[in-house]
Amino acid sequence: MGSGGQPFSVSGQTALVTGARTGIGRAAALALADAGADLILWGRTQEGLAELAEEIRGRGRTASTVAADLADTEAVRALATDLAAMHRIDLLVNNAGTIRRADAVDTSWSDWRHVLNVDLDAAFVLARTFGERMLERGAGRIVNVASVLSFQGGVRVPAYAAAKHALAGLTKALANEWASGGVNVNAVAPGYVATDNTDALRADPDRSRAILDRIPAGRWARPEDIAGAIVFLCSPAADYVHGHVLAVDGGWLAR
Ligand code: NAP
């Protein structure tokens, strides 16, 4: 076990977190910094990233910021290629994601493509680019942020459910190929987390009540609830964990 026998330390590692500005990504970046990692924060734009980088530096780690729209596959590929040439990225957290809420018959082709681009294609491009370097070094961790909708169809979110199912499949496919090369690929599957992503659900009293009634833990998740599982999957404690999709859902899927 690495990191001086401290199973949950990621000291000396550099982590790239997408969607770091808000919600789960922000909590994951801070938790990884507290566990010893230096951070590269990826946003759609630079907005809000400087403050987070400052907060991470205040906790004694280094932090830099980069920006590219994950819907723009060529821009993602170009930035990732540059980053891979400049930095040794040990930990990749494919956290950024987007959602479009509409019945399937009302889902436009452009909304479908947008969700698939951001939630699936970008994760593959980043995993492929950084994973190749990790394999050359014989070490690395990739954590994809999936969803309980990697297992369920959800309500009025067909593109999102399809993308998150595919992300779970990609996690397993990459783990099959890369585990023997020292690269761990896993995912976390959050349940219902109080972030911008779920504002519309919490604003609807009926949906909000229905969701809460189904969560055995009796509360929505906080972003920090998900961050702990991400740190675990990045840490030496998870050395032998490959291709797993770890639900962090207050018991939602158990019901
Ligand atoms: P959030 O606060 O809305 O965060 C989403 C992040 O993704 C934002 O930082 C956003 O950046 C980034 N993002 C969205 N579209 C992007 C694009 N085109 N290019 C670059 N970045 C983009 O919501 P969250 O709940 O923390 O979501 C994080 C992940 O958790 C997502 O993959 C989501 O699907 C997943 N998840 C969330 C829940 C939940 O209940 N909240 C449940 C299961 C899974 P900007 O703000 O700059 O656009």
Residue 2 has pLDDT above 80, yes or no: no
Domain count, the chain: 1
Q: Are 24 and 18 in contact (CB under 8 A)?
A: no
Give yes or no for residue 110 having a pLDDT over 90: yes
Q: Considering the candidates 42, 112, 151, 160, report the single residue annotated as catalytic.
A: 160
The answer to whether residue 109 sits within a structural domain is yes
Of the candidates 49, 168, 71, which has an alpha carbon nearest to the alpha carbon of residue 115? 71
The chain-wide mean pLDDT, for the chain, equals: 97
Note whether residue 119 is domain-resident. Answer: yes
Residue 187 placed within a domain: yes
Q: What is the pLDDT of residue 4?
A: 60
Residue 255 lies in a domain: no
Q: State the alpha helices, DSSP H only, in the chain.
A: 23-34, 49-58, 73-86, 109-116, 122-137, 158-178, 199-203, 205-214, 223-234
Ligand 1 centroid, distance to 195 Cα (angstroms):
8
In a domain, 177, yes or no: yes
For 186-229, how does the pLDDT look when each residue is reduced to its tens digit (9 = 90+)? 999 999 999 999 999 999 999 999 999 999 999 999 999 999 99
Q: Would 86 be classed as within a structural domain?
A: yes
Average pLDDT in the 95-121 region? 98
Sheet holding 245-248, edge to edge: 63-67, 38-43, 14-18, 91-94, 140-145, 183-190, 245-248
The 10s digit of each residue's pLDDT in 19-59 is 999 999 999 999 999 999 999 999 999 999 999 999 999 99
Is position 138 within any domain? yes
Å from CA of 61 to ligand 1 middle: 24
In a domain, 254, yes or no: no
CATH of the domain at 146: 3.40.50.720
The parent domain of residue 92 ranges over: 3-249
